[in-house]
Amino acid sequence: MHLPRPRSTRAWIALVTVAILLVTAALVTWTSRATQTVSADEVQITLPENPGSDARVEIDARLYLPDRLPAPAVLLAHGFGGDKDTVAAQANDLAADGFVVLAYSARGFGRSTGSITLNDPDREVADARGLVDWLAGRAEVALDCPDDPRVGVTGGSYGGALALMLAGTDDRVDAVAASITWNDLGQALFPNFGTTQPVDRTTPAAAGYGGPGVLKRGWAGIFFGVGAGGMPVGPETASKSGACGRFSPEICRAYAAAAETGIPGPDLLAMLTAHSPAAVAADITAPTLLLQGEQDTLFGLDQADANARQIAAAGTPVQVRWFPGGHDAGGESASGHRAVASFLSDRLRGDEPDQRFVFTLAGAPGDQGRVSQRRMTAPSYPGLGATATPTPTESMPLFGPVQTLFRPPGASPAGISSVPGLGSAAAALGAAAGAALDLAADPPGQSARFATAPVAHPLTVTGTSTVNLEVSSEAAPGQALLFAKLYDVSPQGSRTLPGGAVSAIRIPDAPAGQAVPISVTLPGIAHQVPEGHHLELVLAATDQAYANPVSPARFTVGLTDPTLTVPSVPATTNSRALPVAPLVGIVAILAAVAVLGVVGVVRSRRRAVAAVDPALLDTPLVVTDLHKSYANGFRAVDGVSFTVHRGQVLGLLGPNGAGKTTTLRMLMGLITPSGGQMRVFGHLVTPGAPVLSRLGSFVEGSGLLPHLSGLDNLRLYWEATGRPAADARMDEALEIADLGDAVHRKVRSYSQGMRQRLALAQAMLGLPDLMVLDEPTNGLDPPQIRTMREVLVGYARTGRTVLVSSHLLAEVEQTCTDVVVMNHGRVIAAGTVEELTSAEGATELRVDDAARAVAVLAGLDGPTGVHVAEGDPPTVRLDLAGTDSAVVVRTLVEAGIAVRGLSGTTRLEDVFLRLVHVSDHRDRSSSNNEQVEAP
């Protein structure tokens, strides 16, 4: 058997690459752990509603079994709002690792009955103990002794707290791994990081942090909304309808009262603490893994720190890991799940506990918006801040005078540190999304700032920094709040708020104007400040994520000690031994890449020649036989070709689904064509092609930030391109867009027309030679549309080119010099506006005797559709069909009929509708023929 000889270098490369990847996959499979066959069974477990009660709850669960039994068991709990299905992937992976896994829906979630009582020791935690009893009775589960299964427990967020509380109340638990969870739910939802005296945070007595906390209104609202919604419909839940949903009435009433005032009552705080790991952490004896996210404004690093210290105080081994995620960045991570699986595997099979501290050190975004990240390891967890003795600290002088700040009436607009839940949506953008999506903003007049000098060398901040302040206020009693945050500021002035976290501080009541000394603990972070950057401490009067008093207030803030104390953990870059197979695979892939690189260098010269067509260097755009097909066979663009010349305003027309936007997205390099090519000034368009810098675009929304001024939006956009500021030609773009002084106002105050003109100015930055606009007149009123028309026409008069897609055909007719009409992914007509309207349309003749004129013209070859059109006076309408209008006029005059006037009446809209109608009819006919002729 002989393989066919490859016809090109590309074929050889493909064969070699496929072979290497197949060998790598085989090696990895051969040397990896033995593959387990996993089966899953649905189970319903009946448990008491509470201890001593005759009432029962039904817990809906799923039991995962590996093929090698008996085996250690893992009890897997879910996060708030989830159920057994949301942890199914993790459960399957753990079972594949050889564990019997019981994943279940906590009471009040999924199909489990009962009400949500937020990990009540007598309810949810008692349920978990009952599930351990159930596991102890299963023949598949390995036992330490009768009624004592070999069992670990794990979960994230809500499930993480439950895991810790189970371990603290049931000594049969042999290992516990908790992710992104809380220590004291009262402190987590009502934090206060300011004190008037030193606080020993290593003990549970530190709860309260110096006074009543400040409600995290944003997160608390999400938390409550998830539990209040999603009730199943049926007779058994009819009595529970209303605002409380699945929450127990006691929890619902307590939260509602605190949400209205923003201040928790002592009963609520006592209940939240009793429903938290803080109540039982000192009783945990099982080796514990704590994973906490570095981007988590719901449960910050301080919550994991409190858990670690309370558990370790009892002599229990604890490992702490911080990872670049959390509730603000997608929740738990895949690497976190792998760490949990490894930890449980080691602990449940008798290996010694690992107590190294592992964390990820992130830096400020670089010039290209990228965030550097390094995984670090320290021998043990040293603690979170300066109050933790093992943690080394660095003292940095702070500079800034005594400053005054105000809280406006209604506390609006409020400062922004983060937007609860938004980071999770952005997490899909990549690992750096959380840091790149920096929403922090401090309204003018509402903040005081103190800065350090630029650092002479990279500074590592690992934990909670502290600073001592002196604050006087003129707020009503109990309503003096400040919010502290620590920015990393670049030499260019760009600011990064690591983790998006802020410390809420409730200032003790004092006579108006009397200064109160405050020790402020800033949020826990893991961040590296680059050389030349400096730190900026900001005290803000409002924060939209918290419950802000609505009455106005005035604050005066100064430094009692001009020192910022910064913790820094000595650590080394993490390195791990790699299995042989992945190493072999990596080497093989690198070899393949090297081969590709060599071949690429040889062929790049040919491609470089093909990438530029010298004959088209002065032509803005040439589209040739462009195609775009998708995996399902749909052809969005099918053989499109057209050319755009300098000075043209070309309208790209077509009904919805014609392929216009797909064509524009391929032009901007956002998607890759399936065939054909596009050339901008002779250069082949590919994703990231340098020639795209000569193109300005406004497609599918401008992305304007409402809390910034128009000018700041433009500056931020241009900085993101990485090009010199002088090349922006900001003044010229603003002059063409004609925004006037409005450019200095915040975008949220703009009308729709002003937003569109600002978006146009954004597209015109750098005065690109080719500007591409998709529906630029959407939402504009007639005067605004006319202004936009003048802008586009004026821009083209400078010798540049505009390509505009629009549904407003009358406006296109007045604005554009040329049009391309698309339908079903194809070009069905192209030319100047005048050519299309004159070739396709009707002509009106004003004559003395309309009836006789119709009779005369009926005998003339060429014109068609001759008829009298009603009116005063009546006119003769006909389609010239290519006949010279002079011939028609001469024929009528020779017949003795006076011609008073001749005019074309066709609008572009009429031509467009006829073209699309004909195209649709042709496509339907073609489709019918194909169906008839098909075998």
pLDDT in tens, 121-138: 999 999 999 999 999 999
For 851, other C-beta atoms within 10 Å of its C-beta total 10
pLDDT at residue 571, as a whole number: 76
User: What span, in angstroms and rounded, lies between the C-alpha atoms of 750 and 756?
Assistant: 10
Is a pLDDT exceeding 80 seen at residue 143?
Answer: yes
pLDDT at residue 196, as a whole number: 65
Q: For 719-752, how does the pLDDT look when each residue is reduced to its tens digit (9 = 90+)? A: 877 788 888 888 887 877 777 888 889 988 888 7
Q: Which amino acid is residue 72, in one-letter code?
A: P
Beta bridge partners of 485: 538
pLDDT at residue 200, as a whole number: 40
Q: Tokens for 334?
A: 């895949």
Q: Which amino acid is residue 906, in one-letter code?
A: T
User: What span, in angstroms and rounded, lies between the C-alpha atoms of 563 and 556?
Assistant: 18
Q: What is the largest CA-CA distance in the chain?
A: 120
Mean pLDDT of 851-879: 79
Say what percent of the chain tops pLDDT 70.
82
| Helical spans, DSSP H, in 332-426 | 334-348, 422-426
Q: Classify the C-alpha dihedral 296-300-301-304 as positive or negative.
A: negative
- 278: DSSP letter: G
84 exposure class (CB count in 10 Å sphere: 0-12, 13-18, 19+): buried
Least confident of 262-266, 475-479, 830-834, 868-872: 868-872
User: What span, in angstroms and rounded, lies between the C-alpha atoms of 164 and 281?
Assistant: 7
pLDDT at residue 389, as a whole number: 46
More confident residue, 52 or 470: 470
User: What span, in angstroms and rounded, lies between the C-alpha atoms of 108 and 117?
Assistant: 9
pLDDT at residue 5, as a whole number: 40
Q: For 395-420, how does the pLDDT look when each residue is reduced to its tens digit (9 = 90+)? A: 899 999 999 999 999 988 888 888 77
Torsion angle defined by CA atoms of residues 628, 629, 631 and 634, in that order, rounded to the nearest 10 degrees: 130
Architecture of domain 613-836: 3-Layer(aba) Sandwich (3.40)
User: What span, in angstroms and rounded, lies between the C-alpha atoms of 184 and 270?
Assistant: 10
Of 830, 819, 832, 771, nearest to 799 (Cα)? 771
| Residue pair 623/676 in contact by the 8 Å Cβ criterion | yes
User: What span, in angstroms and rounded, lies between the C-alpha atoms of 272 and 547?
Assistant: 19
| Residue pair 282/164 in contact by the 8 Å Cβ criterion | no
Instruction: Output the DSSP codes for 376-418.
Output: EEESS---SBTTSTTS-EEEEE-B---EEEEE-GGG-SPPBS-
36-355: CATH topology: Rossmann fold (3.40.50)
For 589, other C-beta atoms within 10 Å of its C-beta total 14
Domain with CATH 3.30.70 in the chain: 842-905
Q: Which residues lie below 8 Å from residue 204, measured CB to CB, with a gap of 6+?
A: 184, 278, 281, 282, 306, 310
User: What span, in angstroms and rounded, lies between the C-alpha atoms of 103 and 61?
Assistant: 6
Domain with CATH 3.40.50.300 in the chain: 613-836
Backbone φ and ψ for 708, nearest 5 degrees, come out as: -105, 160
pLDDT at residue 370, as a whole number: 55
* Helix or strand holding residue 555 (H, E): strand 553-567
3-state helix vs strand vs coil in the chain, percent to 5: 35, 25, 40
| Residue pair 139/112 in contact by the 8 Å Cβ criterion | no
Return the SS3 of 709. strand
Q: Which residues lie below 8 Å from residue 71, measured CB to CB, with a gap of 6+?
A: 98, 99, 100, 140, 141, 142
Crossing angle of helices 752-764 and 710-721, in 10° steps, is 30
Instruction: Output the DSSP codes for 803-816.
Output: EEE-S-HHHHHHH-
Of 386, 387, 384, nearest to 566 (Cα)? 386
Return the SS3 of 800. coil
| Helical spans, DSSP H, in 230-384 | 249-261, 266-274, 301-312, 334-348
Q: Which amino acid is residue 225, in one-letter code?
A: G
Of 484, 530, 526, 476, nearest to 504 (Cα)? 484
User: What span, in angstroms and rounded, lies between the C-alpha atoms of 216 and 220?
Assistant: 6
User: What span, in angstroms and rounded, lies between the C-alpha atoms of 518 and 561?
Assistant: 11
**CA 310, 316, 309: angle at the middle one, nearest 5?**
20
Least confident of 237-251, 630-644, 810-824, 826-840: 237-251
| Residue pair 135/99 in contact by the 8 Å Cβ criterion | no
Is a pLDDT exceeding 50 seen at residue 209?
Answer: no
Least confident of 248-252, 283-287, 607-611: 607-611
- Whether the upstream peptide bond of residue 413 has omega within 30° of 0, thus cis, is yes
- Whether the upstream peptide bond of residue 212 has omega within 30° of 0, thus cis, is no
Q: For 296-331, how does the pLDDT look when each residue is reduced to its tens digit (9 = 90+)? A: 999 999 999 999 999 999 899 999 999 988 998 888
- Strands 100-104 and 173-179, how do they pair? unpaired
Of 522, 519, 487, nearest to 416 (Cα)? 487
The counts of H helices and E strands in the chain are: 23, 38
b/e burial code for range 443-476 (CB count within 10 A of at least 16 → b): beebbbbbbbeebeeebbbbbbbbbebebbbebe
For 273, other C-beta atoms within 10 Å of its C-beta total 18
842-905: CATH topology: Alpha-Beta Plaits (3.30.70)
Domain with CATH 2.60.120.260 in the chain: 393-569
pLDDT at residue 161, as a whole number: 97
- Whether the upstream peptide bond of residue 317 has omega within 30° of 0, thus cis, is no
Q: Tokens for 768?
A: 């690109």
Domain with CATH 3.40.50.1820 in the chain: 36-355
Classify residue 315 as left (phi > 0), alpha (psi -120 to 50) or beta: left
Return the SS3 of 481. strand
pLDDT at residue 251, as a whole number: 86
The listed range with the strongest mean pLDDT (272-276, 334-338, 476-480, 835-839) is 272-276
Is a pLDDT exceeding 90 seen at residue 487?
Answer: yes
Mean pLDDT of 908-912: 76
| Residue pair 675/625 in contact by the 8 Å Cβ criterion | yes
CATH class, range 393-569: mainly beta
| Residue pair 411/353 in contact by the 8 Å Cβ criterion | no
More confident residue, 701 or 93: 93
Is a pLDDT exceeding 80 seen at residue 931?
Answer: no
User: What span, in angstroms and rounded, lies between the C-alpha atoms of 155 and 132?
Assistant: 15
User: What span, in angstroms and rounded, lies between the C-alpha atoms of 104 and 112?
Assistant: 9
The CA distances from residue 190 to 138, 249, 477, 787, 829, in Å, are 42, 21, 18, 52, 65
Q: Tokens for 791?
A: 């802008």
Instruction: Output the DSSP codes for 659-700.
Output: SHHHHHHHHTTSS--SEEEEEETTEEP-TT-GGGGGEEEE-S
Q: For 352-411, how does the pLDDT look when each residue is reduced to its tens digit (9 = 90+)? A: 777 888 888 887 775 445 556 788 888 888 887 644 445 567 889 999 999 999 999 998
Across the chain, mean pLDDT equals 81
Crossing angle of helices 850-858 and 885-894, in 10° steps, is 110
User: What span, in angstroms and rounded, lies between the C-alpha atoms of 181 and 297?
Assistant: 11
